Chain A
Amino acid sequence: MTAGNFLDLLKQEHSPFASVPNLVHTASTAIQTVLTSATTILAFKYRDGLLIAGDRRATAGNMVMYDRADKVINIDRHSVMAIAGSPATAFEMARVLSHSFQYYRRSQLQDLSLEGKVRALSRLLKENVPAAVQGIGTVVPLFAAFDLESGQKHIYFYDMLGAEFEVVDFATTGSGSPGIRGVLHFYNRWNPEPVSSLSQDDAVVLAMRLLETAAEHDSATGGIKTAAQVFPTVKTITEEGVRSLPLDQLKSLYHEKVENRHV
């Protein structure tokens, strides 16, 4: 009996995915492997819901390993996790979370509370600390959710140790985030309308402009490549659920309001 706890079920069944390996290394045996990582992800509240977006690049040191990574992952119908850090660990955390929430809902015949979901990610990060402090598998995610019970939008960011922090308007993380965090603060503080008043289209345009800004200053953040059809991953969460913005909509908004300067 696991009382709806999927992680406990995995451990009980000795699943190899039950926990991140607790590696033992000393300073003298520091890992020399270059791990795939880096990102810029962001989330903010707009008029009708939440927007979460991320660039598509995965790097290993100064090598670009992949330019079509999806770092914004649906966890359930009303929550999304965006990942910065090591994809190997982060994707696994997202998979564990997704299964955990569904398992809880189906076995306990009720949805896990938002607080429970937020703590579940925190627990995974805490279990990953031994690996993270040894330089492998560090993950610094964002978690965004629409709480159906209260009708409220929530965005959380985490530190490597698993502490969660809820933000009021927006959050950014990843290697390219310092460059856009200030921009978002400036926009939110002095623009005629704060991000929370933006329409969905305007919110998507802002997200693409921010990601292009991040890519301009951070080599580990991928830009938008129209010729190769590489656009950021952009998702919204509203009362109706999570929606991935289709490529055509991103392309059209990009050509109309991002590519050209005077709009």
Chain B
Amino acid sequence: MFEEPYRWAEAVSNRRDYLEDQLQSGSPVVALPCIEGILLLSVSAGTQKVYEIYDRVVLGALGHPADVERLRNIVIDMAHLEGFNRSPSDVSARRLVQFGLAPPVKQAFEEIGRAPYIARLLIAELGKDQSRIFFSLNYDGVFKETHTGLVLATPGEATERCESALKALAGLEDRAMREVFAEAFKLWGLAEVAEEKREAHLQDVLKDREIEAMLLSESVPGPSKVRPLSKAEITTLTEPWRA
């Protein structure tokens, strides 16, 4: 059926449309640098959206929970085997994305007879030199690296809105987590709705959905530098929208 190149290309194109359609209902994920390290934020309707992967690596995902789970397990296995067989210092987001995640995601996307991963991922790492690295991984295996933060939004307009808003936010790495949390929450809102509807939407979200946030910070004791923010902290940080 797909032996002709044209049919194969058409099938891939169809599956791209299918995936983008499937991802439209996903909840965005935001990762921003802050003076403490990296803040990762999302809003869930029940299923967890942000995860600790290794001592200095976190993951956020948008997509089908079962596919996210499969990819999360791949990257957790790889990170722990690497950390054990070599050293925790050898576990890096770059290697996890480039060699662990991107190849199987691309393969699944292009093998027409096989189900693709309905997922887009965000991976962030706080380096020992305090560098902040962010990767996005698309459902087709394409990945991008950035150092200024990342918003994983649904494809199309929302992504464009967030990219330009993120560009306008300069010097986040010098701002305290408390301030950056507010920026992250606003970016999350912008990834969901247009700017004029954002404030009302954020207020509504707080009524029936749960905010998840993780901080990657050198100040966390022990080898793992990941600290999930408590419900009490999140309640305080979202006070301006709870009026």
User: Residues of A with Cβ closer than 8 Å to B?
Assistant: 1-2, 6, 9-10, 13, 15, 17, 74, 76-77, 95-96, 99, 102-103, 106-107, 109, 241-242
* Contact of B84 with A10 in the complex, beta carbons under 8 Å: yes
User: Residues of B with Cβ closer than 8 Å to A?
Assistant: 48, 51-54, 72-73, 76-77, 80-81, 83-85, 221-222, 224
Listed A/B pairs (11) with beta-carbon separation below 8 Å = A6-B84, A9-B80, A10-B81, A15-B81, A77-B224, A99-B84, A102-B80, A103-B76, A107-B72, A107-B76, A109-B51
Q: How far is the CB of B215 from chain A (nearest CB, A)?
A: 16
Set of chain A residues within 8 Å of B85, measured between Cβ atoms: 15, 17
* Contact of B84 with A241 in the complex, beta carbons under 8 Å: no
The 10 A-B residue pairs with the shortest CB-CB distance, nearest first, are A103-B80, A99-B84, A107-B76, A106-B52, A77-B222, A106-B76, A13-B81, A99-B80, A15-B85, A9-B77
For the complex, give the distance between the alpha carbons of A220 and B221 in Å. 33
For the complex, give the distance between the alpha carbons of A103 and B224 in Å. 12
* Contact of A242 with B222 in the complex, beta carbons under 8 Å: yes
Set of chain A residues within 8 Å of B222, measured between Cβ atoms: 74, 76-77, 241-242
For the complex, give the distance between the alpha carbons of A27 and B84 in Å. 35
- Complex: chain A residue closest to B53, CB-CB: A106
Q: A106-B51, A109-B48, A241-B222 are in contact. Are A99 and B73 (CB under 8 A)?
A: no
- Complex: chain B residue closest to A96, CB-CB: B84
Q: How far is the CB of B49 from chain A (nearest CB, A)?
A: 12
| Most chain B CB neighbours (cut-off 10 Å) among A74, A95, A107, A109 | A107
Other-chain contact of B80, A1, A6, A77 (Cβ < 8 Å):
A6
Q: A103-B76, A107-B73 are in contact. Are A241 and B83 (CB under 8 A)?
A: no
For the complex, give the distance between the alpha carbons of A77 and B77 in Å. 21
- Complex: chain A residue closest to B222, CB-CB: A77
